[in-house]
Amino acid sequence: MVSMKVYIKGVGMTKFGVDRKSSHERICEVIGECLKSTDMNFDDIDVIFASNSESERNEERQKHQGPMLSTLFQREMPILNVPAGCAGGGVALWNSINYLRSSDCKNIMVIGYDNIVSLTSEIITDEILMGSERICEQTEGLNFPAQNALVAQQYMMKYGATSDDLALIALKNHENAFDNPKAMFYKKKVTLDMIKKSPVVASPLRLFDCSISVNGAAAAIISKDPGNIEIIGSGMCTTSLSPIERKDMTSMSSTIKAAKTAYEQAGIKPEDLDIAELHDAFTPLELLSYEDLGFAKKGHGAELIRDGTTKINGSLPVNTSGGLKAKGHPISPTGLAQIYEISKQMKNECGKRQINKPKYGLAQNVGGVGTMAAVHILKNLN
Amino acid sequence: MIVRWVCEKDNRKWIYPIKKCLYCGEPVKKQVGRKTKVIGLTKVNIPSPLHPITPYNIILLEDEFGNRMPKKTMKDYKIGDVYSIEKAKTDSAVIITKIKYDLGESLKESLNLLNSFDIEKQDKVLIKPCIIEPAYPYQTSNTSPKLLDEIIKMLKDMGVSDIIVGDQAMPGNDTTASAKKSGILDVCKKNDIPLVDLRKSQYIEKTEDGMKFSIAKEIMERKVINVPVMKTNSQLGVSGAMENMLRVVDENTQMEMFAVDIEKTLPKLIKALPKFVTIGDATIGMHAQGPTLLGEPAFMNMLFISKDPVALDSAFSEVGMLPTPEYIKEATGINEYDAYVKKLEIVGDELEAARYHLKVPDKTASAHPRIKLIDAKSNPLVFYTALKASSKLVGLPGHEINIAMGKFLTEEMVNGKKRIIAYGTDAINKLKELNITPIAEVPEDMGDIEKLTLLKSILENPDKKSVSVKDKMKSKLAGLGAKIKGAF
């Protein structure tokens, strides 16, 4: 039972790309933007939840994130690190909401930051591979594109979706990223032909079915003090490491359970949503998520992309930011970047990709192929 | 084969062994699925350090219980195909198995794939692990005690009662102390099986192709299961099935084998031995500066099994993408290795699908970055004491020195090298023959402390052109001091 209201006071996000900024620089940048959008200053923050997964292995070689942040902030305060792979940002937010509700603190800052593109692509592939099961999957070469490929294939065989449907998801998200100055693919034209002719990474998935690894940071300040955006639902669930082990490979039970909690807390239904930012690390994940989040009945997810429902001018725009696919996927910041986009849409600050006055928005942040999921529902009080 | 651990009461399954269900506390049952068919497939085109060769296929298998497992393969399958592994047809077949949590089941399944195992319950069996130095199991210098335990368990289940475990540590190391630290002695004690130090064995002489070998009696009189750790070897390239059998002969024979040329004499030794089966321990394995503690664990999680040690080492070398060691080429025929490898009968996991990029050892590296080795097939006593000495000097500042070893030194090998130390009698004599004056001479019989004091003084002093009488006295006194201290 939700006992206390939680509001989003401010959000911040760096441009996602392949620059070589340090974590310090990125964090300062997002905090600056976060605070600028509020009437608060940094002293008003009581607790920090951080999420980071790559600083141990890249040039920063930093394992101890809390004290590292304390050094940067020049403050003695509770700082918790919540590494949860690709779901890091969303899981950190879920933790911070629950902490805020159960403690006497007033304001919490949640930050996600990662410099994943600082190693060779082979090493990055290997680093990300560590998020999967070691003995049965890693040793058999089942990297994340391959896992998603097998899931997509099972879905296609069972429900008749095609590679063309996946291509439409990629195209939609690239079209949205074209107008997002913070996206990796900002002002970069990607056509359906380019998508369909891109090299096969793990059949049936092509290069453009995969999100792009980037560096970046994102942050949000949540508070008990009323604001214009309220977090009305927050759910999180973890399930088995391997999608192959699940009874039904074509759905993500973690998303279904996290969404159920979030919808129940929010008191709304999927059809009430006006916008959603979904975890399209691979295009089939967006397709599966349509169904797991209740946007479509099982096996009918592809209809939403075919009939334009999830396009920016559709009745439920999905990934107006460009998604992980075209905005970029920096691992830990991803979930908070989704909150950033929905908040900006609710504040009417999205320029060319602005949709019409969204009241309810949903963010779904996933780790692995549905290994864990954090689902948050935001309400625009304006 | 797909294995799961199932609690029927709670309808839960685990992919690894759990003794009791976490919910009801009841023992879980092992479920082994053998009828597997392909229900999904993907062709992967992106390489990674664990899977450097692309494209490769991954097939998704499902067994009669609905359990699933991915399998990497280079072969093309179709959805609906039945997936099965055929038994070996020849004695030279190499079984490659990627272990899936259950080492015992993987071992049994792999041995079942041999065309015949050739050990009966009435046989006297010697298990020949690799016990080269005192090192903990995680350091992987020695055979995994877990694997040894599973082999003993399997033999006992077969009804074999006369089992011994036998090996001798590297020259300069104590076998029992090595077995103790490695956990092997505990396994022997637990199973009530004697550990035999082959260094103290009676030896039987056997001549093969002009070379005389003094072979431990137990090796000649028992059925042998050779259990080497699969490693890289900074001197020989690979330590595996063949190299592990080097320590079944007495130390004099070992020295003689190196003196004649180890690359030529090792294949002869293998021919001189009775037939044996090898269970290559790559449960972790070792790469980079193996085969001693300077190497790194490789986390291969595999078994290599064969009745043909040359085939097994060839398969390991290929899987690890290592340069082929000369002694393997010598065994297969110098110009015939490529053709030999192409014809290798591989059973279980495919060789191409098992590729694992192992780090190639640097032949010049020692434990100290400033101490370089020039090794000309030196014998193990010289080679490993030099490595040990360099380990003792780690952390000290210094200037490059080159330790020359072995009787096959050539002018080309030492050309351009400064501050050369002749290490061992072979190198001392050879450098004299080549008219090269080393900065110092370190014969085999020099005491450890004396050796270290001498090396340290040379390492630290860049201007030292030769060793003075004062240096020699100093190191002698240090050695003497250590001896006196030890006496009290």
Q: Can you tell me whether residue B118 is helix, strand or coil?
A: coil
User: Do B15 and A141 lie within an 8 Å CB cutoff?
Assistant: no
- Asked whether residue B337 falls in the same domain as residue B406, the answer is no
Residue among B366, B456, B463, B378 nearest B413 (CA): B378
Asked if B292 and B402 sit in the same domain, the reply is no
Asked, for residue B247, whether it belongs to a domain, the answer is yes
Domain-located, residue B359:
no
Give the CATH number of the domain where residue B146 resides.
3.40.50
Q: Which of B45, B46, B60 is nearest residue A244 as measured by Cβ atoms?
A: B60
Domain that holds residue B240: 94-354
Does residue B31 lie within any of the structural domains?
yes
- B1 CB-near residues (< 8 Å, 6+ apart): B32, B33, B34, B36, B105, B109
Q: Pairing between strand B56-62 and B68-73?
A: antiparallel
Q: How many CB pairs below 8 Å do chains A and B form together? A: 94
Residue-averaged pLDDT of chain B: 95
Count of the separate structural domains present in chain B: 3
User: Domain check: are B144 and B63 in the same one?
Assistant: no
Q: What is the mean pLDDT of residues B137-164?
A: 97
Residues B156 and B261 in one domain: yes
Task: Say yes or no: B48 and B158 in one domain.
Answer: no
Question: Is residue B488 predicted with pLDDT exceeding 60?
Answer: no
B70 and B199 co-located in one domain: no
Task: Pick the residue of A121, A140, A158 with the most B CBs within 10 A to test the interface with B by mutation.
Answer: A140
DSSP 8-class letter at A228: S
Domains and CATH numbers, chain A: 6-120+214-223 (3.40.47.10)
- Alpha-carbon span A63 to A144, nearest angstrom: 25
Q: Residues B431, B285: one domain?
A: no
Residue B62 CA to residue A235 CA, distance in Å, equals: 33
Among B56, B83, B110, which residue terminates a domain? B83
pLDDT at B471 exceeding the cut of 80: no
How far does B270 lie from chain A, in Å, by closest CA?
33
Question: H helices then E strands: how many in chain B?
Answer: 17, 24
**B238 found inside a domain:** yes
The verdict on a CB contact (< 8 Å) between B42 and A242 is no
**B55 and B104 share one domain:** no
Cβ atoms of residues A365 and A334 within 8 Å: yes
* Contact check, Cβ <8 Å, A146/B48: no
d(CA B311, CA B297): 23
Residues A218, A114: contact at Cβ < 8 Å?
A: no
Alpha carbon distance A22, A114 (integer Å): 9
Residues B177, A212: Cα–Cα separation, whole Å: 53
Q: Which residues contact B112 (CB under 8 A, 6 or more apart)?
A: B87
Q: What is the CA radius of gyration of chain B?
A: 25
Tens of pLDDT, residue by residue over B403-453, are: 999 999 999 999 999 999 999 999 999 999 999 999 999 999 998 888 999
CB contact under 8 A, A153 and B16: no
Nearest chain A Cα distance for residue B59, angstroms: 9
Stretch (H or E) spanning A32:
helix A23-36
Q: Does B364 reside within a domain?
A: no
The closest CB to that of B48, out of A125, A140, A242, belongs to A125
Per-residue pLDDT band at B483 (split at 50, 70, 90): low
Verify that B230 and B311 share a domain, yes or no: yes
Considering the domain boundaries, does residue B129 fall inside one?
Answer: yes
Per-residue pLDDT band for B101 (boundaries 50, 70, 90) equals very high
pLDDT tens sequence across B224-243: 999 999 999 999 999 999 99
Helices assigned H by DSSP within B393-468: 411-414, 425-433, 448-460
- The CA angle B86-B115-B350, to the nearest 5 degrees, is 40
Cβ contact A202–B45 (<8 Å): yes
Give mean pLDDT, residues B386-413.
95
Tell me the percentage of chain B whose pLDDT exceeds 90. 90
Q: How far is CA B245 from CA A332, B228, B254, B277, in A?
A: 51, 9, 11, 12
Option in A133, A199, A202 nearest B42 (CB): A202
Name B142's Cβ contacts closer than 8 Å, sequence gap at least 6. B129, B130, B131, B132, B133, B135, B178, B179, B182, B184, B229
Check residue B484 and give its pLDDT: 67
Give residues with Cβ within 8 angstroms of A142, minimum separation 6. Answer: A132, A136, A150, B58, B70, B72
* Residues of chain B with C-beta less than 8 angstroms from the C-beta of A243: none
**Phi-psi map region of B407: left, alpha, beta (phi>0 left; psi -120 to 50 alpha):** alpha
Contact A334, A220 (CB under 8 A): no
pTM, to two decimals:
0.94
B349 has pLDDT over 80? yes
- How far apart, in whole angstroms, are the C-alpha atoms of residue B67 and residue B74? 23
Of B195, B150, B192, whose CA–CA distance to B177 is shortest? B195
Q: For residue A1, what pLDDT is reported?
A: 46
For strand B223-227 and strand B124-129, is the pairing parallel, antiparallel, or unpaired? parallel
pLDDT band at B368 (very low <50, low <70, confident <90, very high): very high
Segments of B56-210 assigned E as strands: 56-62, 68-73, 82-83, 94-98, 124-129, 162-167, 195-197, 203-208
List per-residue pLDDT tens for chain A, 382 residues long. 445 899 999 999 999 999 989 999 999 999 999 999 898 999 999 999 999 988 877 888 888 899 999 999 999 999 999 999 999 999 999 999 999 999 999 999 999 999 989 878 777 888 888 889 999 999 999 999 999 999 999 999 999 999 999 999 999 999 999 999 999 999 999 999 999 999 999 999 999 999 999 999 999 999 999 999 999 999 999 999 999 999 999 999 999 999 999 999 999 999 999 999 999 999 999 999 999 999 999 999 999 999 999 999 999 999 999 999 999 999 999 999 999 999 999 999 999 999 999 999 999 999 999 999 999 999 999 8
The answer to whether the beta carbons of residues A218 and A30 sit under 8 Å apart is: yes
Q: Is the pLDDT of residue B470 over 90?
A: no
Cα distance from A122 to chain B (closest Cα, Å)? Answer: 5
Is B361 part of any domain?
Answer: no
Buried b (16+ CB within 10 A) or exposed e, A304-329: bbeeebbbbeeebbbbbbbbbbbbbb
Q: Is the peptide bond before B49 cis (omega within 30 degrees of 0)?
A: no
Cβ contacts of A316 within 8 Å, gap of 6 or more = A273, A274, A275, A276, A295, A304, A309, A310
Query: Quick one: pLDDT at residue B485?
Result: 62
Which among B254, B76, B269, B100 is positioned nearest to B171, based on CA atoms?
B254
The residue out of B30, B56, B83 marking a domain boundary is B83
Q: What pLDDT does residue B158 have?
A: 97
Question: What does the pLDDT look like over B288-338, one tens digit per residue?
Answer: 999 999 999 999 999 999 999 999 999 999 999 999 999 999 999 989 999
Any domain includes B89: no
- Residues in B closer than 8 angstroms to A57, CB to CB, are none
A101 and A6 Cβ atoms separated by less than 8 Å: yes
Q: Please indicate whether, in this complex, the C-beta atoms of B42 and A244 are within 8 angstroms of each other.
A: no
Q: How many CB atoms lie within 10 A of CB A60?
A: 16
Q: Residue B42: which of A123, A133, A153 has the nearest Cβ?
A: A153
Same domain assignment for residues B78 and B101: no
Residues B57, B172, single domain; the answer is no
List CB contacts (< 8 A) between A201 and chain B: 44-46
Name the burial class of residue A111, with classes exposed (0-12), middle (13-18) and buried (19+) by CB atoms within 10 angstroms of its CB: buried
Q: Helix (H) and strand (E) counts for chain A?
A: 12, 11
Pairwise CA distance, residues A353 & A342, whole Å: 12
**Boundary-marking domain end, from B83, B118, B137:** B83
Burial of A39: CB neighbours in 10 Å, binned 0-12, 13-18, 19+: exposed
**Do residues B113 and B176 share a domain?**
yes
